[in-house]
Homo-oligomer: A and B are copies of this chain.
Amino acid sequence: MEALEKRIRRKDLLGKMTTPERAALSVKEGMRVATGGTTHAGYPRAFFKALAERFKKGERVKFDLHTCSPLGREIDGELAGLDVIHRRLSHQAQPPMAKAINEGKILYADMGGCVHATQARYGFFGTMDLVIVEAIAVTPEGFIIPSTAMSDIPSFIKVAKQIIIEINLTLPEGLEGIHDVYIPENPPHRKTIPILRPTDRIGTPYIEVDPKKILHIIGSDLKGSLPTRPPVDKNSEMIAHHFIQFLEEEVRQERLPSHLFPLQVGLGGVAEAVVRGLANSKFEGLWIHSALLNDAVLDLIDSEKVLEASGAGLYFSEEGLARFFKNLDRYKKVLVIRPLDISCSPEVIQRLGVISLNGAIEVDIYGHINSTHIGGGRILTGVAGSIEFARNSSISTFLTPSVTKGTDVSCIVPMVTHVDHTEHEVSLIVTEQGYADLRGLDPRERARLIIDHCAHPEFRPLLHSYLDSAIKQTGGHEPQLLDDPFPFHRRLKETGKMKQ
């Protein structure tokens, strides 16, 4: 309790202190509950653990859960199985949560990180009955210093009735000052978001709240499972290699400056490989503007390749987090944590000219991207900020291996079964085979480029044959075979392979 008291710097709020178990009783039938975080950090663990315990004892209430980030498996996984979430907005990526959504047990609306926050502020989803936020401290004014991920918490707090603060005692108070909290007004009072470079500070280092809305303050010393740094396989290395070749060519052609435009960096092995590639490249003076910042970003900062970086959350491994805290003051000068809707702001992404890097489940020959669904209906993950990054970046890049499951499944297909990103916002496809620069091209040109440069050689004849048939039988600008648009998926279902 003493450690917690110390972090509540406004002393008349000490009376709000309670246990996670008591705080968890605040969730009532029909409530809209909002929170934030990332898959591994920044979310209120103690509160949701206590909430799950409450329900595991047999009690059942149904509530809506608003969070534009997947929460940790111990939360999203557990809650998904407890039949307590009525509706979930807007991002999820934990298999048990996806399973419950696919079974129709949880209603789910998938939307971009900026859209969710913006529409919440407009009141389109009503007031948020309860917002639970992980923090590192409460200021003397009663304001919240968030922890390692802000997500859309500041916007949810703007329309919150009541707020529960969970102070993560495992994180140092020294994090204070890394955040830049800015909440746009609603129209017609909304102003520009005056960010001109990734680390420009335009807001406050805390989230302003009306202390009267603070219902409880709880402490937590729970450590979650931090991510492990993803391994880089040969394919990822090749994808990164082709992408960096593309960037080098852009600079040579004077379409990009030698320090490039700011980069979005993703998660996973391919992103890791890209960063390693950048580390070994000639590029210098880079900027990063991203949704999440991972260990690889620290590498680039340490090697002075990257001058500054901003994101809505930290996604560090155990080692990365230790490194980060060890050199906190240095990193705080070049890293900023923003609300997700500012990181994903179309305005900011377009102004900075961000080069976006996203993954894909499948890409079709014309450049439409499926990044969420498989098998004609099952969702894997939400789109989150990939939407805003892809739609507003200077070069909207999608990176994917050409095949999965050995070579049984092609990630390049005639027609994607679900479109998350349309041909209108996809500039570049990169696989381990090569890259296809789609800018300014006709769909048939795109198709040939994607098939010849990105598809796996085993699938090229099949894809060409589909394209030729579609041109012959359907014709038109972007021909598809409406009688059999998904031959790859049909074969996969019938034989377990997309190949003939």
Interface residues of A (CB under 8 A from B): 87, 89, 98, 101-104, 107-112, 115, 118-119, 122-125, 184, 186-188, 190-194, 196-197, 254-255, 257, 259, 261-262, 287, 345-347, 350-353, 368, 373, 375-379, 383, 387, 391-392, 394, 417-425, 439-442, 444-445, 470-471, 474-483, 485-486, 489-490, 493
Contact = CB atoms under 8 A, between A and B. Distances in A.
B424 A422 contact: no
Contacts of A368: 419
17 contacts: A87-B442, A89-B440, A103-B475, A107-B442, A109-B441, A123-B254, A186-B353, A187-B261, A188-B196, A191-B196, A345-B350, A376-B479, A377-B479, A417-B482, A422-B422, A483-B486, A485-B486
Number of copies of this protein chain within its complex = 2
Given A424-B420, A482-B490, A391 B391 contact: yes
A290 to B, nearest CB: 16
B108 A477 contact: yes
Given A187-B261, A188-B352, A124 B439 contact: yes
Contacts of A191: 196, 351
Contact of A391 (B110, B122, B346, B441): B346
A107 B445 contact: yes
Contacts of A424: 110-112, 115, 383, 387, 420
B190 A353 contact: yes
B480 A376 contact: yes
A286 to B, nearest CB: 11
Contacts of A184: 351
A346 B347 CA distance: 6
Contacts of A474: 375-377
Given A87-B442, A441-B107, A419 B417 contact: no
Contact of A477 (B259, B377, B419): B377
Given A368-B419, A441-B109, A346 B255 contact: no
A98 to B, nearest CB: 8
Contacts of A188: 196-197, 257, 259, 261-262, 287, 352-353
A275 B89 CA distance: 34
A482 B98 CA distance: 21
